[in-house]
A and B are shown apart, each in its own frame.
Chain A
């Protein structure tokens, strides 16, 4: 599979054959694409509007994309919840630590895999590739992590998913694209492997490392299931599980009948606020980092 590149969206002017049918198509196309944009953005706007609205308007089903009866009570309520902030801080800590571990392990392994004449390279690649298509499964993993005594520690969250094979392949593809002459010259100057990796290769790989940091950081920031599985202590949970417990609580209340309806409604705004505050960091950096993601995906696909 060969995908070259970045010369995207060169407008295709396939000659002057723009029939009337095609002009109609282009109008329809534009309308459809605007529809896609609206459908994608609507849930976000709806949530923001809900988070800022007064409870009564939400219950009456009057909130769409504009806040009704502007009200910050839910924000104040959430901001004053110590557990929310503890969990938020946990998310930050877990993300930073996990990303660090992942980057170190992935870089080391990808660099070794990028050396074409290394003996045993095929085996080393196979070790990683096989895990993409076959995994031990939930139960054996749980038994393992538990018996390693990692339950209710940060390690249960940051170690079991340290290497993503997809990211590994992306990085390997990048290292393979580096000109080998530079490393050869450094070797002649007497640098050993570690020196070459640290002083020659890594400085040339800033862009790919940034991409990898983003890939890993976003996936750790968003992850919830590992923590949900391995952590029972409330003050060790990440904020995603905080949100999960909030929505699960609301669902339980809904099922237990009308008596709990008040709880449900109080939760509606609170849920919206929690969603907004959890998504905010991602939305804030998204416009600036989006292209790195796209580039990373394409780099991975070249070798796919």
Chain B
């Protein structure tokens, strides 16, 4: 036996006798760490580079948020020059633009959740009723395709479709309207954003539901039918409960990323004319940081956003564990 294989773990105190033995805990633990290191050092050595990566590129930036509480000079100390307390937090909490972009974020996040969460379920249920296998597989393959495109390409496509001479305006003209510069109009931005989001994510989102659908016990349908349930009631009482764990898991994940609305896509699609509806917290932060070079201010906003995101996931998780008994961890 060498390193990879460890003897079975030290048996848990199964017999009461062992449990009672008043062995002092800490020295024993120390010894077992030493043993673990001696036995598994090769395994541990494999974690060095990945841990270094997490430490430097994931945890160090978390510490770097300290500049939200300190005066920061570009090119100076990466942890800032001196403490300023909560100045930058007070600054954005009293900044009317911040609340405007915060509202926009909530609206876009809610709309995205409202459409991008249920539509894959609907599509999966529809696909599930298809009996012609090849047709089903064809629809699936096509609907997954947009998932593989770069956001830049999606944004470029959106621009072409909504341009003055693009398809959207061809339709407008067909019905006798005047061409609209959709991307210059704040009232159109939400529609454009959400529909492009649906276009890109709905097909890929069905994968997990389709997999979950295949695990539903056929006997349940049989039983429902004997009880006189038609197709619709079978779907309501058997199919939907059957995929509920998947739905809850994905809902939690969706809620967790609620505030992180498609930053990159908005950055590509918005412009000063559409700021009233399109500007969100992350894009505002981006402009504050990189156009106004106010790093500390932007970091304060970013920290605020990240903390809210974390709180959202944790609470969604707790709520779902309490109510439906499914949780991420």
Contacts and interface: CB of A to CB of B under 8 A. Distances in A.
Contact-residue bracket for chain B: 35 or more
A85 interface: no
A136 B143 contact: no
Given A268-B160, A282-B149, A290-B141, A187 B4 contact: yes
A40 B309 contact: no
B42 A40 contact: no
B286 A138 contact: yes
Contacts of A15: 222, 225
Contacts of B51: 109, 124, 127
B205 to A, nearest CB: 10
A140 B54 contact: no
Contact of A224 (B6, B211, B264): B264
Interface of A: 1-5, 7-15, 17, 19, 21-22, 25-26, 29-30, 32-33, 36-37, 39-44, 46-47, 50, 58-61, 64, 104-106, 108-109, 111-112, 115, 117-120, 124, 127-129, 131, 133-144, 147, 159-160, 162-163, 180, 183-184, 187-188, 190-194, 196-197, 218, 221-225, 229, 240-241, 243-244, 246-248, 250-251, 254-255, 268, 271-272, 274-275, 278-279, 282-283, 286-287, 290, 293-294, 297-298, 301, 304
A205 B268 CA distance: 39
Interface string B78-97: 10000000000000000000
A278 B64 CA distance: 36
Given A144-B57, A247-B155, A135 B62 contact: yes
Contacts of A134: 62, 306, 309-310
Contacts of B54: 127-128, 131, 163
Interface of B: 1-6, 8-9, 32-33, 36, 40, 42-44, 46-47, 49-51, 53-54, 56-65, 67, 72, 78, 123, 126-131, 133, 135-139, 141-146, 148-153, 155-157, 159-161, 163-167, 169-170, 173, 179, 181, 183-184, 199, 203, 207-208, 210-212, 214-215, 218, 221-222, 225, 230-231, 234, 245-246, 249, 256, 264, 267-268, 271-273, 282, 285-286, 289-290, 295, 298-299, 302-303, 305-306, 309-310, 313-314, 326, 328-329
Nearest to B137: A9
Contacts of A112: 43-44, 46-47
The DSSP consensus for interface residues of chain A is helix
Contacts of A282: 148-149
A222 B126 CA distance: 31
A119 B36 contact: yes
